[in-house]
Chain A
Amino acid sequence: NAGVTQTPKFRILKIGQSMTLQCTQDMNHNYMYWYRQDPGMGLKLIYYSVGAGITDKGEVPNGYNVSRSTTEDFPLRLELAAPSQTSVYFCASSWAASYNSPLHFGNGTRLTVT
């Protein structure tokens, strides 16, 4: 059982470049989330989705875009990378609203923008 799979594990971008962080889950979970983790700052929610075709902004959506065309996949797009987007990015999924079921996290993507 793979759970939540994120690719790539590491990436270095130059300012202004774009990239897509991939996330896929094989648990048939309805809810999916993207977080960023900055040192000493905990996790901040970027975007989330309650099902295929539905996405919504979290706390820190600026500079990012998402899509949810299938239940399994929830890619995160950075269009014009900036140094402030240097962070570790985590994708997560849950069966239902997270008060009722735990979040399952991927192992993260470490992104550096220089």
Chain B
Amino acid sequence: GDSVTQMEGPVTLSEEAFLTINCTYTATGYPSLFWYVQYPGEGLQLLLKATKADDKGSNKGFEATYRKETTSFHLEKGSVQVSDSAVYFCALILNRDDKIIFGKGTRLHILP
């Protein structure tokens, strides 16, 4: 079935380090892809999205490129801050279906 696989956490980095969180997907069609972020004590919120191959989503210094050939949507940021500490969820939705499929989440800790 359709699924999303993210790298296991927690990921611990120092402030100003480069971040990559890997995400790959399996889907029978051409999904839209999303990254959601969950800050401590809060619900998830949309960080960025891409709806077709080679699209790049970006927000708050984060970027992710929809790679159809490798079925991937890796999240990157050039210089992380302590305030980026959160849980990050990769997700997909198939255009024919209303229901979004989430990965298991990757917890990110940024040390000052």
Question: Residues of A with Cβ closer than 8 Å to B?
Answer: 4, 31, 40-43, 45, 48, 50, 58, 90, 92, 97-99, 102-108
A-contact 0/1 string along B24-60, CB 8 Å cutoff: 0000000010101000011111100101000000000
90-112 of chain B: CB within 8 A of chain A: 93-95, 98-100, 102-105
Q: Can you list 28 A-B contacts with CB-CB less than 8 angstroms, sorted by A residue number?
A: A4-B43, A40-B104, A40-B105, A41-B104, A42-B102, A43-B102, A48-B98, A90-B43, A90-B44, A92-B43, A92-B44, A97-B98, A98-B98, A98-B100, A99-B32, A99-B93, A99-B94, A99-B95, A102-B34, A102-B45, A102-B46, A103-B44, A103-B100, A105-B44, A105-B45, A106-B43, A107-B41, A107-B43
Name the CB-closest residue of B to A40.
B104
Cβ of B66 < 8 Å from any Cβ of A?
A: no
Distance of A23 Cα from B49 Cα, bound (Å)? 26
Residues of B contacting A40 in the complex (Cβ-Cβ under 8 angstroms): 104-105
Cβ of B73 < 8 Å from any Cβ of A?
A: no
Task: Tell me how far the C-beta of B14 lies from the nearest C-beta in chain A, rounded to whole angstroms.
Answer: 25
Residue contact A48 to B43, C-beta cutoff 8 Å: no
Distance of A69 Cα from B27 Cα, bound (Å)? 35
Distance of A43 Cα from B100 Cα, bound (Å)? 10
